């Protein structure tokens, strides 16, 4: 499915679809995660921009990072770090081939949570946790 359509399936609207890496709505934040940057072998599943997202200078000044920093700060302050996610296939920096909304019910109850965030650079780490294990209702 298309990138913006994947966000819409989760109830989000991208303001600038070709530039935005995240979106917000009244009750949440949604981040895009490159499928190839997720550590699928780790338990819990994880994605760290310091490990898998290429050189910082390639993306630190981009609009998408500036917006993502704002959204991650809100996620941590307002939602305990819990975020919705869109899993993106393609080549980072070159374009999206396809995107799929991450639906916890279809993923053994796993939902993404921000566990580390550097407000200056935008580096962050997310992990997929079972929401029932941490007292969050299973959506």
> Bridge partners of 84?
30
Q: What is the pLDDT of residue 34?
A: 92
Which three-class secondary structure state does DSSP give residue 70?
helix
Listed residue (63, 65, 75, 131) closest to 103, CA to CA: 131
**Total domain count, the chain:** 1
Judge whether 139 lies within some domain. no
CB atoms within 10 A of CB 92: 15
The per-residue pLDDT for 96 is 84
According to the model, what pLDDT value does residue 133 have?
53
CB 135 within 8 A of CB 113: no
Does some domain include residue 29? yes
| Segment-wise mean pLDDT, segments of 10 residues, the chain, 139 residues | 96 94 97 94 93 69 89 97 96 84 90 95 94 48
Residue 136 is predicted with a pLDDT of 41
Domain encompassing residue 8: 3-134
By C-alpha distance, which of 13, 129, 19 is closest to 82?
Answer: 129
The pLDDT of residue 135:
45
Residue 106 is predicted with a pLDDT of 86
């Amino acid at each position: 499915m298309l990138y913006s359509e994947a966000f819409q399936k989760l109830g989000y609207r991208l303001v600038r679809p070709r530039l935005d890496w995240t979106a917000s709505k009244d009750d949440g934040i949604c981040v895009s995660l490159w499928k190839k940057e997720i550590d699928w072998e780790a338990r819990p599943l994880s994605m760290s921009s310091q490990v898998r997202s290429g050189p910082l200078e390639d993306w630190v000044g981009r609009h998408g990072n500036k917006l993502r920093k704002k959204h991650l700060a809100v996620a941590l302050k307002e939602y305990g770090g819990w975020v919705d996610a869109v899993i993106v296939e393609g080549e980072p920096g070159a374009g999206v081939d396809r995107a799929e909304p991450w639906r916890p019910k279809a993923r053994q109850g796993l939902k993404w949570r921000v566990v580390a965030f550097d407000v200056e650079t935008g580096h962050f780490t997310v992990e997929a946790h079972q929401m029932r294990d941490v007292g969050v209702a299973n959506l």
